[in-house]
Structure 1
Amino acid sequence: MDLDRFLPLLIGLLLGAWTLVAAWAVLSARAREKRTENQLRSARRLARMIEESPALPLLVRSDGRIEASPRLAQWLGIDAVPQYLSELDGEGRGLPKDKLDELTEAVRRCQKTAVPFRMVVTPEGSTRSLALRGHLADPQVSPGGAALVWIFDFSDSETELSRLREEAARAQGDFHALVSLIEAAPMPMWFRRPDGELQLVNSAYVAAVGAESAEKVVAGGVELIEAADGVTPAQVARQAVAKGAPIERIVQTTIAGQRRALRVSDLPLGEDGIAGYAVDIEDMEEMSRSFRAFRDAQRAMLDQLSAGVAQFDAKKRLAFANQPFQRLFRLSARSLKDPPAFERLLDAARDVGRVPEVRDFPAWRREKGAWFSTGDTHEEAWSLADGTHLRIVAQPLPDGGLLLIVEDRTEQLRLSAIRDTMLRTRTATFDSLFESIAVFAPDGRMQTWNRRFAADWGLDSEFLDTHPHVESLLKKIASRLKRPVEAETVGNVVRAATLDRTQKGGRIALADGRILEFAGVPLPDGNGLLAVLDITASQKAEDALRESNAALIEADAIKTRFLANMSYELRNPLNSIGGFAEMLEAGLGGDLSESGKDYVGSILEASAQLGEHIDSLLDLSQSEAGMLPLKKEDIDVMPFVRGVVEERAVRIGKAGLTLDLQANGLIRTLSADRRRLARAIGHLVDNAIAASPRGSRILVQVSRRKAGDADLVRILVQDQGKGMDGRSLARALEGMKVSADGKSVERRQGLGLPLARQLVEAHGGTLKLVSEPGKGTSAIIELP
């Protein structure tokens, strides 16, 4: 009964408790829902703040998956955020390949070592600049070792920074350029502090003061400019600051051991200091001194001229007048102390009669005064009352002045009159000559001629007075020639003299039998002179002489043939005489007495000399006739010459002479006729022996000489005899000598030198004699 009575109460309590629990649950749920809504609202606000923030997060998990805001895809220029980090590059979009590889490596290193990293990237095809800062993500954000990368867009900051960097770089470059310009300036430049002490100098300043560096110059306060009148350069700089205006002055200083003039400027720069520079004007000063010296030298030179020269300035006052001008216009020294004006000078010249007499002198003076304002040169001739003739040249100057040149032509006019007289005298002289003379101008026209010219060519005066052309003249004289076509040779001579400026000549035969020789001579004035001479008589004499010469040549040939034919006839008896004498000497005819042996020896010696003369005569005759036979062979020159000299050792010893045989250098072999070349050298040695006084020396020297491409063998035979002059040398080579009375020339007894010359020339060589009276004679043979 009690349970039934308490059951409704218990159920009511349970229901009330349940109601309370339900109410609490409802209230709790509502509180949690409100709290959740607040958290969602806060999350959305935070997500929106992150979306709107300048930094976007990029979560990279350990497997390479990524989480990021869609806004990052816009920054990277791709359509959507990919699932993996390796997919952030695209075709021309996203991250560059190298930057993506660098980011992947940095993320991997951060995930393993928790080392943060920073990067700056620029997406492909974009000007956006992105800064990446990565670190290991908090486990609450992403467990498992993910990397969180914050991406910042600092494009605007980068642009501003780039602009500032460019401006800074430009300013720095301008500063360096300015410093380099100041440093490279050829003039010394410096900068002073407001107190006047040096703060900066350039290299030109350092070089000028001879210091080692700019630092030492500034530290030592080395001044370029010396103190003047007790005022130092620093004090001058402070004066410029006090005045607030630049100070410029010209001072003298010593640079590199030379005294130089400098234009120094101090420029105040407000409170910053004072700038200064120095310009070397020594060259300008030197040029100014040179100009003054040139002007003085020019005026001194003008004083030496025969023409008068005067210079007037822009104010028409006389600035300079040389001595001839002063003499011509009779200017006094007092008038030059106060230089007169141009019009006053003309007035003074009129008073002394140095201007021409004119009717209206004031108008004439104004006309001459107008020379200053015209730009043309004026030239006039003044005839003075005393017979003086002046040539006046007025040249306006660029500065408004006038240069007046006065030349006294009185003497020239007198010489011109004398010249006319001389021309008339020349014409009279031409007419008196035995030669025919005509002068032609370069255009071929005849200018002047004499009467003999007309007579020799048979020309009338009326035709010559027309000053005919050379072609017309040739047509006239062609009919008077033996061969009319030869008239063109006269024209060629005239053209060569007038146009080619060369001298030519020729001969021509006339139809009447006369022979004329003509020559064209260029004259200094550009004309040509044709001189014609009748050589009919001399030509006849020349023909006669030519016939006589031909007869002499034929006689000489007959003589040569006679000597050649008689050589056999002369040699046979001589050989017989020599043979029998040798037999007698050998005792085949019986014993001989001592005197007989002497006679036989004399016979042998005489026969040998006669044989040598016969050979020489035969060789000379054959050489002159051009029929000398040569049997050439290779000869070793030095032994060959030594053999020739040793054959005459006995004669050299008897004459009391000394022989000096020399060889200079390596001597090549020589192709020659041994016998005939030995005879030529022997004759030269014989002549040296005969010409040398007792006790003297004979030099025989063999050497080589280069003459262009030819290699010559040179043989020198030199004595110390009396020597010969030039005329005697020429005659000696021709076999001639001066007679005892000194009035004629006769044939030498010996044939040595002519024969030696003929034999050497037959070998293609030359023989030359060099001698002076009292210095001996040198015979030089040169063989190819």
Structure 2
Amino acid sequence: MEFSPTTLALIGVVLGGWTLAALAAIYLASRATGQARDMRTGLKRMQRMLDESPALPLLVRSDGRIEASARLAGWFGLDRMPTYLSELAEGESGLTHQQVETLQKNVRRTQKTAAPFRMMITPRGSSRSLSLRGHLADPQVSPGGAALVWVFDFSDSESELARLRAEAKRAQGDFAALVGLLEAAPMPMWFRTEQGKIRLVNSAYVAAVGARDAEEVVAEQIELIEPVNGLGAAQVAREAGQQRQPIERMVTSTINGQRRALRVSDLPLGEEGIAGYAIDVEDMEELARSFKAFRTAQRNMLDKLSAGVAQFDSNRQLIFANRPFQRSFGISFEQMRERPSFNRWLDIARDQNRVPQVRDFPAWRTEREEWFTSNETNEESWTLPNGTHLRIFAQPDPDGGLLLLAEDRTEQLKLSASQDTLLRTRTATFDSLFESIAVFRPDGRLQLWNRRFMADWDLEEEFLDQHPRIDDLLTHIQKSLREGEEAGQIGDVVRAATLDRSQGVGRVSLSDGRILEFAGVPLPDGNGLLTVLDITDAQKAEEALRARNAALVEADAMKTRFLANMSYEFRTPLTSMRGFAELLETGLGGELTEDGMAYLRAILDSVEQVENVLDLSQSEAGMLPLVKESIVLEPFLQAIIDSRREKIDARGIRLELRTGEEETRIRGDERRLARAIGHILDNAINALPDGGRILVKLLARGDGVRIVISDDGMGMDALQLARALDGLMVSADGKTVERRVNYGLPLAKRIVEAHGGRLEVMSEEGQGTAALIDIA
């Protein structure tokens, strides 16, 4: 079949149109396919972004059906997402019934009122925290009033918030506790700003400054610490803040009216401010002062001890040594200042030969170092090369130091040896004594005795070696006594000496005729000494002496009667002789020649000498007659001096009489007192060389008077003065005595004593003599 060209043209046009249409369809299809592919890619991207986003959508339709991703089901703790909202609470996982009811209620309200809501849920058995934010869904998303709920997972944020809340709560509690601690602190505490202004104080600070409350302290900026050297507390705090370092100082401040020592610290706290506190260390300072005073007193006391004392500290350095210790070990002052170590001290002592000589000194020194770590006191005896014996005590201290005591026992050892020698000497001395001796202990047991004791009482040595008691001893002694009951006297004396600590004596007669006298003496050591003496011969001699004494007494009575009778017989003619001689001296019997006057003066001197002898004899026998009358001393003394004026002027002697302004009187025998004072004055005149000086001084005393007669002569020694006062002179053979020619001083002494007074003569060779007469 043949087609026309038109037909072919039409066919061609149709085919062309179809081709074009096919090409257009292909193009459009290809474009739609690309758009669909792009859309699917975008949907996948969006789905992926939703799956990775912290918020997932939950679409709740009006009939309760829900649409959500499987990831959200995992957030809810479910294996898959259920169909309805109420099914979220079914099973052991997922939401709780209360959470689902609250969610349903919020969803219905949103679907009805389009009001959004928010809520927080935590699925059961999960630590995930979910935040739900719901609102009405867009009609394009879901028509018909569906609710779109966005679920956010903020578990990490919630944990962080919980941690922060816990930390904040803990910080708040710590702050409250810190504030309470500050308030309860007994020490003043404060807080300042960076500018040094007080911002916070505690109650102790308020009480210390005497304010009403903390607000007053902050408002008025009341400072506790006084300025020191013009630098106030705020300035010191600012300096601590600027240096970013704590500043601590010791100051004194007035607290409750008392000056107290405070240790003040300012602590910078960065940009927050500066904290400070003050610790009252007054008690510690007082304790430190007391300890220092105690240590000083202790070391002063240790310096006075005879034993050497040294202290080593925990570093084993010598920190103290008293003077005996330094002398014992030859430590100089410079070495003490260097504080030598323990080893160095031993080396110094070794150089001075003050330690024992040992073969291995380093090993010996190492052993002594163990004293520091020992748990007990170590004691050693050191024998030094020079013969000194030291007793060493090493006491370790709890702080690691060492207290060392060195006691020099050389003298004690010598005394011990001397004591042993003395004991031997005592035993030998006891055995050589003429009298018998026994020593009894306080319990009455015999301790010591000599051989004479054993012989006197006829005792056996074996018996005494048993140290018998006094009762057993008396049983043996009783056999030797003439009367056995006298043995009790010995026991009483021994008991009195040992127990009563009193002396006792007694006498017993033995059966062989001997007479023993015994005495008990308490000894200082608590023992009693019994001494026994054989007085047989002495008793016989005593009886003879009694007979002779009776004869002497009778002879003394005869002498007294003789003096009483012969005194009158002698004085009557002596008085007559003196009277007639004085009349002849005045020329009543005619003028005498020069030889006659010499004889007359000799007669008067003899009469005076005889009267002196009579007065002295009567005074020694206590029979000197005194005629007491009132005597005015000033003219009385002047008359005595005037009677010797010729002799005084002839020898050029200067005599001075000094009396008081008031009249002085005494009662006495004027004639005999004149004789006594005249004798003393004559002795002074005779003892002076020509041109000498005599001073007679009258002194009134409360209970009488004192007459002083002094001269500047040659004086006498003690022996010459004693003989002059006694009126006796030892003969040339040294065995007998002879009377002195001059009885002046003995007679003057007797006369003064007969008046109830006292004569005292003081003399020194080359210095003169002074006689002091005290009369009441």
* TM tier relative to shorter chain: 0.5 to 0.7
Deviation at 1:534, TM superposition (A): 3.4
Partner of 2:665: 669
Measured after TM superposition, the shift of residue 264 of structure 1 is 4.0
What is the letter of the counterpart of residue 464 of structure 1? Answer: L
Aligned to 1:611: 607
- The code of the aligned residue for 2:640 comes to V
Matched, 1:627 2:623: yes
Partner of 2:745: 753
What CA distance in whole angstroms lies between the structure 1 residues aligned with 2:313 and 2:713?
80
SS in structure 1 opposite 2:265? strand
Q: Which residue of 2 aligns with 1:508?
A: 507
Quickly say closer, same or farther: Cα 1:515–1:619, change in 2 above 3 A. farther
CA displacement 1:481-539 (0-9 Å, x = unmatched)? 6787876765566456545667x575635345545455555545333333334354456
Is the Cα–Cα contact under 8 Å of residues 672 and 751 in structure 2 kept in the other structure? yes
Cα deviation for residue 225 of structure 1 reads 4.1
| Structure 2 counterpart of 1:719, from 700, 711, 721 | 711
Instruction: Give the 3 Å change call, closer, same or farther, for CA 352–442 of structure 1 in structure 2.
Output: same
Instruction: Rate the CA distance shift 1:179–1:489 in 2: closer, same or farther, 3 A.
Output: farther
Alignment map for 1:404-553 (pairs within 5 Å): 423=423, 426-470=426-470, 473=473, 477=477, 494=494, 497-498=497-498, 504=503, 506=505, 508=507, 510-511=509-510, 512-516=512-516, 518=518, 520-537=520-537, 540=540, 551=551
What amino acid maps onto 2:690 in structure 1? R
TM-score calculated relative to the size of structure 2: 0.53
User: Hey, what's the Cα distance between the residues in 1 that align with 2:417 and 2:566?
Assistant: 80
Query: Which amino acid is the alignment partner of residue 431 of structure 1?
Result: D
Separation of aligned partners in 1, 2:563 and 2:241: 122
Contact 1:571 1:611 in 2 (8 A): no
Q: Cα gap change, 1:604/1:529 in structure 2, threshold over 3 Å: closer, same or farther?
A: same
Q: 1:435–1:757: structure 2 CA closer, same or farther, 3 Å change rule?
A: same
Residue 703 (1) aligns with residue 695 (2) = no
Deviations 1:300-346 (CA, angstroms, capped at 9, x unpaired): 999x9579x89797xxx97879999999xxx8559999xxxxxxxxx
Cα deviation, residue 678, structure 1: 2.0
Provide the C-alpha distance between the structure 2 equivalents of 1:582 and 1:408, rounded to a whole number of angstroms. Answer: 87
Cα distance 1:581–1:240, how it changes in 2: closer, same or farther (>3 A)? closer
- Give runs of aligned pairs for residues 583-598 of structure 1, distance below 5 A: 596-598=592-594
Per-residue Cα deviation, 1:218-270 (whole angstroms, up to 9, x for no partner): xxxxx41478xxxx9755311445799974235999xxxxxx99844347898
- Output the aligned Cα RMSD: 5.9
Shift of 1:287: 7.0
Within 5 A, what are the aligned runs for 1:230-629? Answer: 235-240=235-240, 247-249=247-249, 263-266=263-266, 333=344, 372=375, 423=423, 426-470=426-470, 473=473, 477=477, 494=494, 497-498=497-498, 504=503, 506=505, 508=507, 510-511=509-510, 512-516=512-516, 518=518, 520-537=520-537, 540=540, 551=551, 554-555=554-555, 557-574=557-574, 596-629=592-625
Deviations, residues 171-197 of structure 1 (Å, cap 9, x unaligned): xxxx9998895489xxxxxx9999xxx
Q: Which amino acid aligns with 2:236?
A: V
Secondary structure (helix, strand or coil) at the match of 1:771 reads strand
Q: The residue matched to 2:707 in structure 1 has which SS?
A: strand
1:777 aligned partner: 769
Say whether the 8 Å CA contact 1:623–1:762 is kept in structure 2: yes
Unaligned 5+ runs, structure 1: 1-174, 185-190, 206-222, 254-259, 338-347, 357-365
- Give the Cα separation in 2 of the matches to 1:225 and 1:333: 46
1:224 aligns with 2:228: yes
Shift of 1:735: 0.9
Match for 1:724: what amino acid?
M
User: What secondary structure sits across from 2:760 in the alignment?
Assistant: strand
Q: Distance in 1 between matches of 2:418 and 2:771?
A: 60
CA separation in 2, counterparts of 1:496 and 1:483?
22
SS for the counterpart of 1:508 is strand
- Equivalent in the alignment of 1:654: 650
For the 8 Å contact 2:581–2:604, the answer to whether it is kept is no
Give the Cα separation in 2 of the matches to 1:635 and 1:705: 16
Instruction: Choose which of 728, 731, 735 in structure 1 pairs with 2:720.
Output: 728
Judged with a 3 Å threshold, the aligned counterparts in structure 2 of structure 1 residues 436 and 273 are, in CA distance, closer, same or farther, namely: closer
Check the 8 A contact 1:250/1:261 in 2, yes or no: yes
Residue 768 of structure 1 aligns to a residue whose secondary structure is strand
Once the two structures are TM-superposed, the CA of residue 747 in structure 1 deviates from its matched residue by 1.8
CA contact (8 A) 1:266 1:276 kept: no
- Is contact 1:578–1:603 with CA below 8 Å preserved after alignment? no
Q: Which consecutive residues of structure 2, in runs of 5 or more, have no partner in the other structure?
A: 1-201, 254-259, 331-341, 349-359, 384-388
What CA deviation, in whole Å up to 9, does each residue of 1:352-383 have, x standing for no partner? 59999xxxxxxxxx9x99974xxxx6789999
Question: Shift in Å at residue 444 of structure 1?
Answer: 3.3
- C-alpha distance 334-480 of structure 1, shift in aligned 2 (>3 A): closer
Q: Residues 326 and 332 of structure 1 are in contact (CA less than 8 Å); yes or no, is this contact kept in structure 2?
A: no
SS in 1 for 2:714: coil
> How many Å separate the matches in 1 of 2:420 and 2:203?
83
Q: Which amino acid aligns with 2:654?
A: T
Choose 1 or 2 for highest CA Rg: 2
Using a 3 Å threshold, how does the CA distance of structure 1 residues 728 and 490 change in structure 2: closer, same or farther?
Answer: farther
CA contact (8 A) 1:557 1:625 kept: no
Instruction: Give the match for residue 755 of structure 2.
Output: 763
> CA offset at residue 435 of structure 1?
3.1
Offset of 1:291 from its aligned partner? 8.4
Instruction: Name the TM-score, length of structure 1 as normaliser.
Output: 0.53
User: Residue deviations 1:452-497, cap 9 Å, x none?
Assistant: 1121233344543443444655565567567878767655664565
2:266 touches 2:274 (CA, 8 Å); kept in 1?
A: no
CA distance 1:479–1:694, shift in 2 (3 Å): farther
Q: 1:349 to 1:514 in 2, by over 3 A?
A: same
Q: Equivalent residue for 2:639?
A: 643
Instruction: Quote the Cα distance in structure 1 between the aligned partners of 2:526 and 2:559.
Output: 56
CA shift at 1:704, angstroms? Answer: 3.3
2:684 to 658, 674, 688: 688
